Structure 1
Amino acid sequence: MSISLVLACFWAVVANVLAMTPSSDQHWRSAYVLIAVGIPVLGYVTVQHGPWVGMLILAAGCSVLRWPVIYFMRWLRGAAVRDAPE
């Protein structure tokens, strides 16, 4: 197994452990750190194994960090509605 996939698996294990720990801010601080670390790991996996494996890792990361993704999609949808011509 390549080092990029090992890092992606380690990221997934850390994300699951952080999800099991109690948190006063509903895990948002952990989510920000996981996003900041996960983006370079995702890029590294994509460079080494191609876009299909990169998309699988992206889907796995989105399933772990689903609420930040949901809020980002809501924000994008709101920005699209505000910028639409009348």
Structure 2
Amino acid sequence: MTLLWLCVLWVFASAAVAMLPMRHQYIPGIALLLAAPVLIFLIGQQVGWFPALLGLAAFVSMFRNPLRYILARLRGQNPEIPK
């Protein structure tokens, strides 16, 4: 039951961060970006692999631009950051 409440809290927090101006999204966005794989792993352990895959798909869909940026930085490229 605690995992459910943590996931609901994560969803509301991500919706609140999305409403912030872009310059204020970085710090809470990084925290959400780091917390999501932990929650998805716990979902996989407690509920099963299929709901975890659905959660992973939703995570990648929501964070596609930050994940592209991180991937480009790991490749040695210098992508632009939106203002």
Q: Structure 1 length as normaliser, TM-score?
A: 0.69
Which one of 15, 39, 59 corresponds to residue 61 of structure 1? 59
User: What are the within-5 Å matches in structure 2 for residues 21-60 of structure 1?
Assistant: 21-24=20-23, 27-60=25-58
Displacement, 1:53? Answer: 0.5
Q: What are structure 1's unaligned runs of at least 5 residues?
A: 80-86
Following superposition, which runs of at least 4 residues in structure 1 exceed 4 angstroms of deviation?
A: none
Task: Give the match's secondary structure for 1:68.
Answer: helix
Q: What are structure 2's unaligned runs of at least 5 residues?
A: 77-83
Q: Structure 2 length as normaliser, TM-score?
A: 0.71
What is the RMSD of the two structures over their aligned residues, measured on CA atoms?
2.1
Q: Relative CO higher for 1 or 2, CA cutoff 8 Å, sep ≥ 6?
A: 1
Q: Provide the identity percentage.
A: 24
Whichever structure has more helix as a proportion of its residues is 1
User: Higher Cα Rg: structure 1 or 2?
Assistant: 1
